[in-house]
């Protein structure tokens, strides 16, 4: 169970409080490091989560000091939005869609994808802010604010289009023809590089360039200036294990996989340095890093084996619905879901610019936080643990495409979803999805969702199935986030601890990202970053050393006047 307890400090006339934040799994409890105190209304909020997968209770949003807080999305949409140009309505999701087309074509992975979408959304927001009476851009503030009579839908659509175009061409240069086509279809000139900030095109170009100037040196190594090769590792990460030998059963093992050309290759850890990237709202990638890692075969051999057996049990009893859930969430992201919200709630261009600005930046920060933890613990995936623990033993599990449940050799077990090329703990899906649900709850003012998706019989890309149509429905954003996280257990690529801790971190990340977004969306209405989530000195869920396992420290929390 994890809890965040905000309790009034007794005996004081002023409204000071103690903040207790505890993350834990089963009997393991990790207390968060909190360095500050804050004013808070005299009440107590207790947020908790049951580890039983069937009895999950969504973590409610915290709203300290009257400022709502919350998060994100992670992966790829199943289908693109049709590109219909209408310069009198809303271009935001047209650019979101073509960005995903570029992502699907290049497959850079969740970290790079998250940054790319955040950059596109931020450049659009920064350009749009010039035509809003209150908002300020992240790089240039309110420098180019235009007169009220120019605050038209046409100008907003034009400026965000030029900003998105310039940003995406920088991020995905080989996809430039896609972006050119969209610009042309919308009636804009893709060769217009004007920097005249009295025009919508000029503002879009200048806003995008300012963001690019900042993000080119954010530690992502996009330009390959930190180490040869775009997005290449500059930290010298080397896996402890190799594909053929396990030196440490607690650590990540690269797998031999078939690439897109049919060649057998060895996995490389995707962007192992990502925790070093400059976040949108977090103080650092390690801000919410847990003090305690996943189960270890040396310190908790029973727990280590139990979590592996749990994945085998899930594998052996996979239903068509669980397979659909695993497959759906592997390639469905929160940007697609947010488009449903846009249509459901009849959003304006203003609404969508602000929603995607908060959502995609929270997703970006979620990848940074998750990857910091992944690198810190470098933890084993189920495929490695199961192969090692059950070598020479017969286990009952999914036998492969169209094979159903079989009795197989433990070392031959395979997950339903291919194992990704990075460490297990924590789950990026869980981190991002919980943050996303919080952002959407806060943006809409409700947890109500109301989306459903039907998988037609026989449409699985993994095996012949499902036998009949399967409909997935989510009454709330929290329901969808929980299912997205659990899908990784059904897929056989995460342990429960990685899911649970990822959700906990994701909510904190989302809260901080939402609050940060408000400082740009409504700067006069939002106090300086002094709410609970910026005061939590959560170096937090932190390790003393990034790459060493340590026992959780004990903290005594006392409020001061």
Does pLDDT of 337 surpass 70? Answer: yes
More confident residue, 524 or 224: 224
More confident of the two residues 15 and 496 = 496
Mean pLDDT, the chain, integer:
83
Q: What is the pLDDT of residue 524?
A: 78
Q: What is the mean pLDDT of residues 317-336?
A: 92
**Assign residue 229 a region: left if phi > 0, alpha if psi is -120 to 50, beta otherwise?**
left
Query: Given a cut of 70, is residue 531 above it in pLDDT?
Result: no
Q: What is the DSSP letter of 281?
A: S
- Does position 534 have pLDDT exceeding 50, yes or no? no
DSSP-derived letter for residue 265 is E
- Taking 60 as the threshold, does the pLDDT of residue 289 lie above it? yes
Residue 75 has a pLDDT of 35
Q: Cα–Cα distance between 350 and 335 in angstroms, integer?
A: 16
**The pLDDT value given to residue 212:** 99
Q: Calculate the CA 265 to chain-centre distance.
A: 27
Secondary structure (H, E, C), 477-522: HHHHHHHHHHHHHHCCCCCHHHHHHHHHHHHHHHHHHHHHHHHHHC
The per-residue pLDDT for range 346-373, each reduced to its tens digit, is 999 999 999 999 999 999 999 999 999 9
Alpha helix ranges (H) inside 10-128: 92-106, 110-128
All structural domains of the chain with their residue ranges: 3-66
pLDDT of residue 474: 97
DSSP-assigned beta bridge partners for residue 7: 18
* Whole-structure pTM value: 0.80
Is the predicted pLDDT of residue 541 greater than 80, yes or no? no
DSSP 197-211: TTSHHHHHHHHHHHH
Residue 339 has a pLDDT of 93
Q: What is the pLDDT of residues 422-441, one digit of tens each?
A: 999 999 999 999 999 999 99
Residue 5 has pLDDT above 90, yes or no: no
What are the φ/ψ torsions at residue 142 (nearest 5 degrees)? -105, 25
Is residue 395 classed as helix, strand or coil in its secondary structure?
strand
> How far from 71 is each of 74, 269, 443, 508, CA to CA, in Å?
11, 26, 10, 8
Over residues 284-288, mean pLDDT: 98
Confidence band (pLDDT; 50, 70, 90) for 486? very high
Report the alpha-carbon distance of residue 109 to residue 74 in Å, rounded. 10
Residue 336 pLDDT grade (very low, low, confident, very high; cuts 50, 70, 90): confident
Res 533: pLDDT: 42
For the residues 11-28, what does the mean pLDDT come to? 36
Token digits of residue 451:
């989306």
Q: Residues 448-469: what's their mean pLDDT?
A: 96
Residue 49's pLDDT is 33
Q: In 3D, which of 193, 204, 207 has the Cα closest to residue 141? A: 207
Dihedral sign (CA 235, 546, 297, 111) = negative
Residue 73: pLDDT above 50?
Answer: no
Instruction: Please determine, for residue 501, whether its predicted confidence score (pLDDT) is greater than 70.
Output: yes
For residue 23, the model assigns a pLDDT of 41
Lowest mean pLDDT among 225-234, 397-406, 550-559: 550-559
Checking if the pLDDT of 325 tops 50, the result is: yes
Is residue 63's pLDDT more than 70?
A: no
Confidence of residue 48 (pLDDT cuts 50, 70, 90): very low
Q: Rounded to an integer, what distance in angstroms lies between the CA atom of residue 117 and that of residue 113?
A: 6
Contact predicate 205/126, CB 8 Å: no
**Cβ atoms within 10 Å of 545's Cβ, excluding its own:** 9
Average pLDDT estimate for 60-78:
31
Dump the DSSP string for 178-198. HHHHHHHHTT--TT-----TT
Flag whether pLDDT at 47 surpasses 50.
no
pLDDT for position 260: 80
Q: Give yes or no for residue 316 having a pLDDT over 80.
A: yes
Q: pLDDT confidence of 17, banded at 50, 70, 90? A: very low
H helices of 378-495, in order, are 382-389, 428-444, 477-490
Return the pLDDT at 324.
98
Q: How far apart are CA 290 and CA 288, in angstroms?
A: 6
**pLDDT at residue 89, rounded to an integer:** 65
Query: What local confidence, expressed as pLDDT, does residue 134 receive?
Result: 97
Closest to 335 in 3D by CA, of 102, 163, 172 = 102
């Amino acid at each position: 169970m994890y809890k965040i307890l905000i309790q009034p400090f007794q005996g004081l006339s002023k409204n000071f409080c103690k903040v207790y934040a505890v993350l834990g799994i089963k009997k393991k409890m990790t207390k968060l490091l909190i360095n500050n105190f804050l004013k808070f209304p005299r009440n107590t909020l207790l947020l908790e989560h049951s580890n039983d997968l069937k009895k999950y209770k969504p973590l409610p949003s915290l709203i300290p000091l009257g400022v709502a807080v919350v998060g994100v999305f992670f992966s790829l949409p199943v289908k693109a939005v049709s590109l219909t140009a209408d310069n009198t309505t809303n271009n935001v999701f047209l650019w979101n869609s073509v960005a995903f087309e570029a992502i699907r074509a290049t497959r850079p992975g969740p970290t790079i994808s998250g940054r790319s979408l955040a950059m596109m959304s931020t450049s659009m927001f920064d350009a749009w802010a010039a035509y809003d009476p209150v908002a300020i851009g992240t790089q240039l503030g309110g420098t180019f604010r235009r007169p009220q009579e120019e605050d038209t839908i046409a100008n907003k659509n034009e400026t965000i289009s030029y900003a998105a175009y310039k940003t995406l061409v920088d991020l995905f240069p080989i996809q430039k023809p896609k972006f050119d086509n969209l610009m042309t279809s919308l009636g804009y000139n893709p060769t217009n590089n004007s920097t005249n900030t009295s025009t919508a095109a000029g503002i879009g170009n200048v806003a995008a360039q300012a963001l690019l100037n900042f993000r080119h040196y954010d530690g992502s190594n996009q330009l390959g200036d930190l180490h040869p090769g775009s997005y290449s590792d500059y930290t010298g990460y080397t896996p402890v294990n190799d594909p053929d030998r396990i030196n440490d059963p607690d650590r990540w093992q690269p797998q031999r996989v078939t690439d897109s050309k049919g060649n057998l290759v060895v996995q490389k850890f995707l962007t192992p340095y990502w925790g070093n990237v400059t976040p949108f709202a977090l103080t650092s990638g390690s801000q919410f890093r847990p003090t305690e890692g996943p189960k270890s075969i040396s310190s908790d051999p029973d727990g280590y084996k139990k979590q592996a057996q749990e994945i085998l049990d899930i594998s052996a009893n996979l239903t068509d619905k669980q397979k659909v859930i695993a497959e759906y969430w592997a390639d469905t992201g929160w940007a697609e879901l947010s488009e449903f919200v846009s249509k459901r709630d009849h959003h304006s261009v203003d609404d969508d610019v602000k929603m995607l600005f908060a959502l995609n930046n929270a997703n970006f920060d979620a990848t940074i936080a998750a990857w910091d933890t992944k690198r810190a613990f470098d933890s084993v995936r189920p495929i490695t643990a199961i192969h090692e623990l059950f070598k020479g033993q017969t286990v009952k599990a999914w036998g492969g495409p169209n094979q159903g449940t079989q009795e197989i050799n433990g070392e031959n077990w395979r997950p339903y979803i291919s194992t990704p090329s990075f460490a297990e703990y924590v789950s990026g899906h869980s981190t991002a999805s919980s943050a996303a649900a919080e952002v959407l709850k806060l943006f809409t003012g409700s947890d109500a969702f109301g989306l459903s998706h039907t998988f037609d019989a026989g449409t699985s890309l993994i095996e012949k199935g499902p036998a009949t149509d399967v409909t997935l429905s989510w009454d709330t954003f929290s329901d969808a986030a929980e299912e997205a996280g659990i899908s990784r257990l059904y897929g056989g690529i995460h342990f429960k601890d990685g899911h649970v801790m990822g959700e906990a971190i994701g909510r904190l990340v989302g809260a901080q990202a939402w609050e940060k977004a408000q400082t740009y969306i409504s700067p006069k209405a939002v106090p300086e970053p002094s709410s609970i989530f910026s005061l939590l000195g959560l170096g937090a869920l932190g390790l003393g050393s990034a790459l060493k396992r340590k026992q959780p420290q004990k903290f005594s929390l006392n409020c001061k006047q």
